[in-house]
């Protein structure tokens, strides 16, 4: 019987959650859900100079916002905690003791200056530095013990078995991998202050947390043979590895700030929906089949297989994400749309959450007028700003092209008269009345509707006119026509 799947996402809180990390988290989550396994979140905060509590909070918040619920980890607990590396230092100490007993490590007293000098000498001689030259490996154990007892600073290094042969593993994505043992230097496992190095802590944690599959970014591939040597030294079973391809920008270069937003929270703040971002990121290197692009979390759980992950670099295409987000926005009910849009309207100073709550039907009626054109919710305030406030600023170009044209004034006056008596005040009746104005003046609809559009919305490009006029209400519509009339010819 195989052990139940346990996977983990193990971010270092040295920065925000970026899209690459989010994709790694999604794949772990999907694999856990697909297999009925457990999704663990572990915070790798052993680098004290770069880890911050704030980054940890940002990562947890971004995970929650994406909907990536973890079964074990910070805030939810679990049987294999604690889930912060800084709270697991005793487990690394125990593992080091075990390695000492097994004769798999040795203390190294070389100072940083000595090591730097060796590196510099190699560079000067024009030969590649092959890593630590194992000077301390041959120190007599009694002498080493005496130096430790005397308080001499030292790190602990892995005694790489020189007769090991290549380090090999079958990666679930990359296939068979093989690394020559000659390139593995005796890596430091524990620093002189007693804190563990990344490779050591990860192996201890993955073992103690009973992780069965390590699904992580391809930038860790070169760490894997090193970690395998540590597993072997400890006599622990080696998990299955799955390394994910890089994510590149559309120019083929590694995704970075140059390409725009990289953190999940930036995408949230631009008005992408979490479902759209999860769907999009899941597709960066994985596909349920050759065609399906829109799928729910449940579809992802149903279909996700490690074997379907592509080894080729994925390309992050913002336009495709925008298209997908539009799709998800269009699927929202007006109520859900306004819920999602509330922070954007608030931030733009158009309405407070209380004001929105007090006039839900009015706000929800905005949605069908604009949603076909909005790819990101951050675009919404600009499109609907004209609906707020009594007055509207008139766009100069629109005034010149539309209002300052012969006949615009007569059209506006006729519209005003029709709208003053329009009953009931709804888009359909407003349209009927305004079309009657066209007939009466024997003008093409454009000649009547465009001046009215500029007068009421401030611009010749706006959401559908009749619905907009309905939402403005009679009083504001008439007042805006009056305000525009002096500029009409
Ligand atoms: N903490 C590592 C990182 O943030 C991940 C380690 C791993 O997945 O093994 O890159």
The pLDDT of residue 2 is above 80? no
Ligand 1 centroid to Cα of residue 147, in Å, is 35
Q: Ligand 1 mean position to 290 CA, how many Å?
A: 30
3-state SS, residue 430: helix
Residue 159 Cα to ligand 1 middle (Å): 24
**Mean pLDDT calculated for residue range 381-409:** 97
pLDDT (mean) for 23-42: 98
pLDDT of residue 290: 80
Degrees, nearest 5: CA angle 472-414-480: 30
pLDDT at 261 over 90: no
Q: Is 11 in the pocket of ligand 1 (CB under 6 A)?
A: yes
- The residues carrying an active-site annotation are 257
Q: Which of 34, 10, 6, 22 is nearest to 276 (CA)?
A: 22
> What's the angle, vertex CA 90, arms to CA 87 and CA 95, rounded to 5?
125
Residue nearest to atom 6 of ligand 1 (CA): 10
> Residue 433: CB within 6 Å of ligand 1?
no
Cβ proximity of 269 and 344 under 8 Å = no
At 311-328, the pLDDT tens digits run: 999 999 999 999 999 999
Q: Strands (DSSP E) along 119-192, which ranges?
A: 155-158, 167-171, 175-179, 188-190
**Is 220's C-beta closer than 6 angstroms to any atom of ligand 1?**
yes
Q: Is the CB of 12 under 6 A from ligand 1?
A: yes
Indicate if the pLDDT at residue 256 is higher than 90. Answer: no
Report the distance separating Cα 11 and Cα 113, nearest Å.
Answer: 32
Distances (CA, A) of 74 to 61, 79, 207, 219, 236: 12, 12, 18, 25, 26
Query: Measured from the CB, is residue 239 less than 6 Å from ligand 1?
Result: no
| 180-201 pLDDT tens trace | 999 999 999 999 999 999 999 9
- Out of 6, 10, 63, mutate this one to test ligand 1's pocket (max ligand atoms within 8 Å of CB): namely 10
Counting from 1 in the atom list of ligand 1, the atom nearest the Cα of 11 is: 4
List, in sequence order, every beta strand (DSSP E) within 180-259. 188-190, 213-217, 240-244, 247-248
Residue 256, sorted as left (phi over 0), alpha (psi -120 to 50) or beta, turns out to be beta
For residues 204-216, average pLDDT: 98
Locate the ligand 1 atom nearest the alpha carbon of residue 8 and give its number.
8
Give the mean pLDDT of 410-428.
98
DSSP character at residue 52? -
Does any ligand 1 atom lie closer than 6 A to the CB of residue 10?
yes
| Residue of 278, 309, 319 whose CA lies nearest to 295 | 278
From 44, 83, 218, 228, the mutation candidate for ligand 1 (largest count of ligand atoms within 8 A of CB) is 44
Percent of the chain at pLDDT above 90?
Answer: 92
How many A from CA of 266 to the centre of ligand 1?
A: 22
Whether the CB-CB separation of 160 and 199 falls below 8 Å is answered with no
pLDDT-based confidence at residue 122 (cuts at 50, 70, 90): confident
**pLDDT range class, residue 173, cuts 50, 70, 90:** very high
The atom number, within ligand 1, closest to the CA of 14 reads 4
Q: Give pLDDT tens digits for 287-315.
A: 988 888 999 999 999 999 999 999 999 99
231 preceded by a cis bond (ω within 30 of 0): no
Q: How far does residue 217's CA lie from ligand 1's centre (Å)?
A: 8
What was the pLDDT predicted at 276? Answer: 98
Average model confidence (pLDDT) for the chain? 96
Residue 261 vs residue 354, higher pLDDT: 354
Question: Each residue of 180-214: b (16+ CB within 10 Å) or e?
Answer: eeeebbbbbbbebeebbbbbbbbbbbbbebebbbb
pLDDT at 1: 56
Residues 7, 215: contact at Cβ < 8 Å?
yes
* Closest-CA residue to 153 (of 115, 200, 193, 189): 193
What is the whole-number distance in angstroms between the Cα of residue 26 and the centre of ligand 1? 14
Contact 9, 25 (CB under 8 A): yes
Convert 301-330 to b/e letters by CB count within 10 Å (16 or more is b): bebbebeebeeebbebebeebbebbbbbbe
Q: Evaluate: CB of 44 within 6 angstroms of ligand 1.
A: yes
The pLDDT value recorded for residue 126 is 87
Counting ligand 1 atoms within 8 A of each CB, the residue from 6, 9, 12, 31 with the most, and so the one to mutate, is: 12
């Amino acid at each position: 019987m195989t052990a139940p799947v346990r996977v983990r996402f193990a971010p270092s809180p040295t920065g925000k959650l970026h899209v690459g990390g989010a994709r790694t988290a999604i794949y772990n989550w999907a694999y856990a859900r697909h297999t009925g396994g457990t999704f663990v979140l572990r915070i790798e905060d052993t680098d004290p100079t770069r880890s911050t509590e704030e980054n940890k909070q940002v990562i947890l918040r971004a995970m929650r916002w994406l909907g990536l619920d973890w079964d074990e980890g910070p805030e939810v607990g679990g049987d294999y905690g604690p889930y912060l590396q800084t709270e697991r230092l005793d487990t690394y100490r125990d593992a080091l003791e075990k390695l000492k007993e097994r004769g798999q490590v040795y203390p190294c007293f070389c100072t940083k200056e000595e090591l730097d000098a060796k590196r510099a000498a190699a560079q000067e001689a024009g030969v590649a530095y092959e890593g630590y030259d194992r000077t301390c490996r041959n120190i007599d154990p009694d002498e080493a013990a005496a130096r430790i007892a005397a308080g001499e600073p030292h790190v602990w290094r892995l005694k790489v078995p020189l007769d090991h042969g290549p380090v090999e593993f079958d990666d679930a994505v990359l296939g068979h991998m093989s690394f020559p043992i000659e390139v593995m230097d005796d890596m430091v496992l524990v620093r002189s202050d007693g804190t563990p190095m990344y490779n050591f802590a990860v192996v201890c944690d993955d073992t103690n947390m009973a992780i069965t599959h390590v699904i992580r970014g391809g930038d860790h591939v070169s760490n894997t043979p090193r970690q395998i040597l540590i597993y072997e030294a400890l006599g622990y079973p080696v998990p299955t590895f799955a390394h994910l391809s890089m994510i590149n920008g559309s120019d083929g270069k590694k995704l970075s700030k140059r390409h725009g937003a990289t953190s999940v929270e930036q995408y949230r703040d631009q008005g992408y929906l979490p479902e759209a971002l999860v769907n999009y990121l899941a597709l960066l290197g994985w596909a349920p089949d050759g065609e399906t692009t829109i799928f729910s979390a449940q579809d992802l759980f149903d279909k996700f297989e490690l074997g379907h992950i592509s080894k080729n670099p994925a390309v992050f295409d913002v336009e495709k994400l925008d298209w997908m987000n539009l799709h998800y926005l269009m699927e929202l009910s007006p109520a859900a749309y306004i819920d999602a849009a509330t922070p954007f309207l608030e931030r733009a100073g158009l309405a407070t959450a209380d004001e929105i709550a007090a006039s839900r039907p009015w706000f929800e009626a905005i949605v069908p007028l604009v949603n076909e054109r909005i790819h990101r919710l951050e675009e919404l305030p600009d499109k609907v700003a004209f609906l707020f406030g009594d007055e509207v600023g008139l766009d100069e170009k629109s005034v010149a092209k539309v209002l300052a044209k012969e006949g615009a004034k007569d059209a506006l006056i006729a519209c005003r008269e029709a709208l003053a008596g329009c009953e009931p005040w709804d888009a359909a009746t407003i349209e009927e009345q305004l079309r009657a104005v066209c007939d009466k003046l024997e003008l093409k609809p454009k000649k009547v509707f465009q001046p009215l559009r500029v007068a009421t919305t401030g611009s010749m490009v706006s959401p559908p006119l009749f619905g907009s006029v309905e939402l403005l209400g009679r009083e504001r519509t008439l007042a805006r026509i009056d305000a525009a009339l002096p500029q009409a010819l």
